[in-house]
Amino acid sequence: MAVNLEIKLGPLELAHPIINASGTFDVLAADKALEEDLFVSFPFAAYIPKTVTLQPRAGNPPPRLQETAAGLLNSIGLANHGIEAFITEDLHRLESLPVPVIASIAGEETEDYGRCAAMLDSREEVAAIELNVSCPNVELDGRALGLDPEKTRQATVLARQATSKFLIVKLTPNVTDIIEVAAAAVDGGADCVSLINTVHGMALDRYSLKPVLGHVTGGLSGPAIKPVALRAVFLVSRELDVPVIGMGGVTTAQDALEFMAAGATAVAVGTASFRDPLAAAMAPELGRLINEHGIGSASELIGVAH
Residue 72 interacts with another protein (CB under 8 A)? yes
When asked if residue 205 is in the footprint of another protein (CB under 8 A), the reply is no
* 85 part of the interface to another protein, by CB under 8 A: no
Can you tell me which of 10, 211, 277, 303 binds another protein, judged by CB under 8 A? 277
In the complex with another protein, which residue's Cβ is closer, 32 or 294? Answer: 32
Residue 263 DSSP SS3:
coil
Count of residues that interact with another protein, criterion CB under 8 A: 39
- Window 98 to 137, contacts with another protein (CB under 8 A): none
Helix or strand holding residue 132 (H, E): strand 126-132
Q: Which of these, 59, 79, 88, 198, lies nearest to 136 by C-alpha position? A: 198
Residue in 188, 223, 243, 246 binding another protein, rule: CB under 8 A: 223
Q: Exactly one of 78, 105, 135, 157 is catalytic; which is it? A: 135
Decide if 62 contacts 79 (C-beta within 8 A). no
Largest CA distance in the chain: 58
Active site residue 116: no
Q: What residues between 224 and 253 interact with another protein by CB under 8 A?
A: 251-252
Nearer to another protein, 50 or 165 (CB): 50
Our CB check for another protein shows the closer of 70 and 85 to be 70
Report the residue from 79, 94, 97, 305 that binds another protein according to the rule CB under 8 A: 79
Contact with another protein (CB under 8 A) among 40, 69, 207, 208: 69
Q: Which residues contact 211 (CB under 8 A, 6 or more apart)?
A: 202, 203, 204, 205, 217
Measured CA to CA, the distance from residue 175 to residue 177 in angstroms comes to 6
Residues 8-47 that bind another protein (CB under 8 A): 23-26, 29-30, 32-37
Least Å from the CB of residue 118 to another protein: 27
Shortest separation between residue 66's beta carbon and another protein, angstroms: 7
Stretch that binds another protein, among 74-82, 101-109, 113-121, 142-150 (CB under 8 A): 74-82
Min dist. Cβ of residue 181 to another protein (A): 26
d(CA 306, CA 304): 5
Exactly one of 136, 222, 243, 263 binds another protein (CB under 8 A); that residue is: 222
SS3 string of 52-117?
Answer: ECCCCECCCCCCCEEEECCEEEECCCCCECHHHHHHHHHHHHHCCCCCCEEEEECCCCHHHHHHHH
Does 275 bind another protein (CB under 8 A)? Our answer is yes
Closer residue to another protein, CB minimum distance, 72 or 116: 72
Secondary structure of residue 226 in the 3-state scheme: helix
Q: CA distances (Å), 130 to each of 103, 192, 226, in order?
A: 6, 9, 21
Per the CB < 8 A criterion, the answer to whether 301 and 17 are in contact is no
For residue 182, what are the CA distances in angstroms to 140, 146, 269?
A: 24, 9, 21
Closest CA to 60 of 72, 77, 73, 74: 77
**Chain residues that interact with another protein, rule: CB under 8 A:** 23-26, 29-30, 32-37, 50, 58-59, 62-67, 69-72, 74, 76, 79, 222-223, 251-252, 271, 273-278
Catalytic machinery residues: 135
